């Protein structure tokens, strides 16, 4: 149930010594074909890490042989030298795999603003190539972890005979623009590049792009899809899009549940909006409100704070018509107090907030976390 579950892929995870902890820090995913179809989505942040700039460039061909990934350093805000480091990493990977550097995407994650130790990283590429295995997906998932406490793997097999699989990392700065964190998806379905790209776009739109743990957008977010065609089965477009979306939702929820210092997984669903974009806007504003998030940490069904956040949205609706439910109890009706708040049970980790705008037929869900002491602790102590 990982990135090597589909046929035609090998992967590995090794320790190059980039992390002071000595934990695994380099991963390699290789597509052995016969196809080398690829698609990608990247951070909407204008401050893009060197590996993002590189991978965007090589993906213009719509094909990839491999993805080399490292934790222990984001290689973001590192100037032209940082880009040269990424280029050298791709060259080295191409050399050991016997392909061209333009067939190699690069992903990095870790601290922003520091150069990577290339004297350790380049030997790490060789070690990763030597460790490649048809069941190496879970090792790869482990090697891309930063503040993650668990590795994220998933796979779905279609009754038609093809499989989609993936790995992901991400525990902080979790508010993707077009994609989130580092995610490598694979499939052995026979798919053309246009379908691979469209399916990835749709899958991200309804999963990773709706994840907003802490409102902060990374400089390194990358989602890559590699298709080997090794199952020999051509995928029906709608079925492939649905499976890839389900796979990304699975990975997104694994990211959500492991978000830094979180104690709640919160699904904010806005209904009755005039458009889906309006529903996303309102849900995202609530997901990013510190007072709502601290109230959830305190297991406090504070609908007043939810309504105050809703009131700052631009989407059209009548503020005096809004209903709010927390875990199924409609504690706010028509912009004022509704059912008794004592009825709301917030003891569990899962929280559902439903906001009905009564202004249309569109809806959307954003997934977020609470704001806890541990979030403050982890993020005030991470780099020092």
Note whether 349 binds a copy of itself by CB under 8 A.
Answer: no
Nearest of 266, 286, 292, 10 to residue 138 by alpha carbon? 10
Note whether 340 binds a copy of itself by CB under 8 A.
Answer: no
Rule CB under 8 A: choose which of 290, 343, 348, 361 binds a copy of itself.
290
Query: 3-class secondary structure for the chain?
Result: CCCCCCCCEEEEEECCCCCCCCCCCEEEEEECCCCCEEEEEECCCCCCCHHHHHHHHHHHHCECCEEEEECCECCCCCHHHHHHHHHHHHHHHHHHHCCCHHHEEEEEECCCCCCCCHHHHHHHHHHHHHCCECCCHHHHHHHCCCCCCCCEEEEEECCCCCEEEEEEECCCCECCCCCCCEEEEEECCECCHHHHHHHHHHHHHCCHHHECCCCCECCCCEEEEEECCCCCCECCHHHHHHHHHHHHHHHHHHHHHCCCCCCCEEEEEEEEECCHHHHHHHHHHHHCCHHHHHHHHCCCCCHHHHHHHHCCCCCCCCHHHCEEEECCEEEEECCEECCCHHHCCCCCCEEEEEEECCCCCEEEEEEEECCCHHHHHHHHHCCC
Note whether 355 binds a copy of itself by CB under 8 A.
Answer: no
Whichever of 225 and 283 has its CB closer to a copy of itself, that residue is 283
Catalytic, 147? Answer no
d(CA 357, CA 321): 7
Note whether 310 binds a copy of itself by CB under 8 A.
Answer: yes
Least distance between a copy of itself and beta carbon 109 (Å): 13
Note whether 140 binds a copy of itself by CB under 8 A.
Answer: no
Note whether 214 binds a copy of itself by CB under 8 A.
Answer: yes
Place of tokens 């709502």: 292
As beta bridge partners, residue 108 has 70
Note whether 236 binds a copy of itself by CB under 8 A.
Answer: no
Least distance between a copy of itself and beta carbon 7 (Å): 38
Site for a copy of itself in 36-65 (CB under 8 A): 44-48
The structure tokens listed for 348 are 């569990």
Note whether 297 binds a copy of itself by CB under 8 A.
Answer: yes
Note whether 234 binds a copy of itself by CB under 8 A.
Answer: no
Site for a copy of itself in 154-183 (CB under 8 A): 172-173, 177
Least distance between a copy of itself and beta carbon 288 (Å): 7
Least distance between a copy of itself and beta carbon 111 (Å): 7
Catalytic option among 147, 180, 186, 219: 180
Which residues contribute to the annotated binding site for substrate? Answer: 146, 169, 180, 260, 379, 384
Angle at 277 between CA 272 and CA 278, to 5 degrees: 45
Whichever of 249 and 284 has its CB closer to a copy of itself, that residue is 284
Rule CB under 8 A: choose which of 20, 21, 60, 79 binds a copy of itself.
79
Least distance between a copy of itself and beta carbon 281 (Å): 13
Note whether 371 binds a copy of itself by CB under 8 A.
Answer: yes
Note whether 337 binds a copy of itself by CB under 8 A.
Answer: yes
Whichever of 78 and 222 has its CB closer to a copy of itself, that residue is 78
Whichever of 24 and 172 has its CB closer to a copy of itself, that residue is 172
* Residue 112 CA, distance from chain mean position: 18
Rule CB under 8 A: choose which of 113, 161, 232, 348 binds a copy of itself.
113
Note whether 361 binds a copy of itself by CB under 8 A.
Answer: no
Tell me the C-alpha to C-alpha distance, in Å, between residue 84 and each of 55, 90, 152, 267, 292.
13, 10, 30, 41, 43
Note whether 381 binds a copy of itself by CB under 8 A.
Answer: yes
The structure tokens listed for 152 are 């994220």
Note whether 218 binds a copy of itself by CB under 8 A.
Answer: yes
Least distance between a copy of itself and beta carbon 304 (Å): 3
Least distance between a copy of itself and beta carbon 306 (Å): 10
Note whether 272 binds a copy of itself by CB under 8 A.
Answer: no
Binding region for a copy of itself (CB under 8 A): 44-48, 74, 76-79, 82, 111-114, 172-173, 177, 214-219, 288-291, 294-295, 297-300, 302-305, 307-313, 319-320, 332, 334-337, 371-373, 375-377, 379-384
Residues catalogued as catalytic: 180
């Amino acid at each position: 149930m990982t990135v090597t579950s589909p046929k035609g892929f090998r992967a590995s995870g090794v320790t190059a010594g980039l992390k002071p902890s000595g934990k695994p820090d380099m991963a390699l995913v290789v597509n052995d074909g016969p196809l080398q179809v690829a698609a990608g989505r990247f951070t909407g942040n204008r401050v893009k890490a060197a590996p993002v700039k590189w991978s965007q460039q090589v993906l213009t061909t719509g094909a990839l042989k491999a993805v080399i990934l490292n934790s222990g350093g984001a290689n973001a805000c590192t100037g032209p030298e940082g880009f040269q480091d990424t280029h050298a990493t791709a060259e080295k990977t191409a050399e050991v795999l016997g392909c061209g550097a333009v067939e190699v995407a690069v992903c990095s994650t870790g601290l922003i603003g520091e150069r990577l130790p290339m004297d350790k990283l380049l030997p790490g590429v060789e070690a990763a190539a030597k460790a490649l295995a048809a069941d190496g997906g879970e090792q790869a998932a482990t090697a891309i972890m930063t503040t993650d406490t668990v590795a994220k793997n998933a796979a779905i097999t279609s009754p038609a005979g093809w499989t989609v699989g993936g790995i992901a990392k991400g525990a902080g700065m979790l508010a993707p623009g077009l994609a989130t964190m580092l995610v490598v998806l694979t499939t052995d379905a026979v798919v053309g590049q246009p379908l691979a790209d469209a399916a990835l776009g749709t899958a991200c739109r309804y999963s990773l792009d709706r994840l907003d743990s802490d409102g902060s957008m990374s400089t390194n977010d990358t989602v890559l899809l590699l298709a080997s065609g090794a199952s020999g089965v051509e995928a029906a477009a709608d079925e492939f899009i649905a499976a890839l979306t389900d796979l990304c939702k699975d990975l997104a929820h694994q990211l959500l549940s492991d978000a830094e210092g979180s104690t709640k997984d919160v699904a904010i669903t806005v209904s009755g909006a005039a458009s889906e974009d309006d529903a996303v806007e309102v849900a995202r504003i609530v997901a990013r409100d510190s007072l709502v998030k601290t109230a959830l940490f305190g297991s406090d069904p504070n609908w007043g704070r939810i309504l105050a956040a809703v009131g700052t949205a631009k989407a059209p609706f009548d503020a005096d018509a809004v209903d709010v439910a927390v875990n199924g109890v409609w504690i706010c009706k028509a912009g004022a107090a509704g059912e008794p708040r004592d009825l709301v049970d917030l003891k569990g980790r899962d929280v559902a907030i439903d906001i009905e705008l009564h202004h249309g037929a569109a809806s959307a869900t954003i997934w977020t976390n609470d704001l806890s002491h541990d979030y403050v602790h982890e993020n005030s102590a991470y780099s020092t």
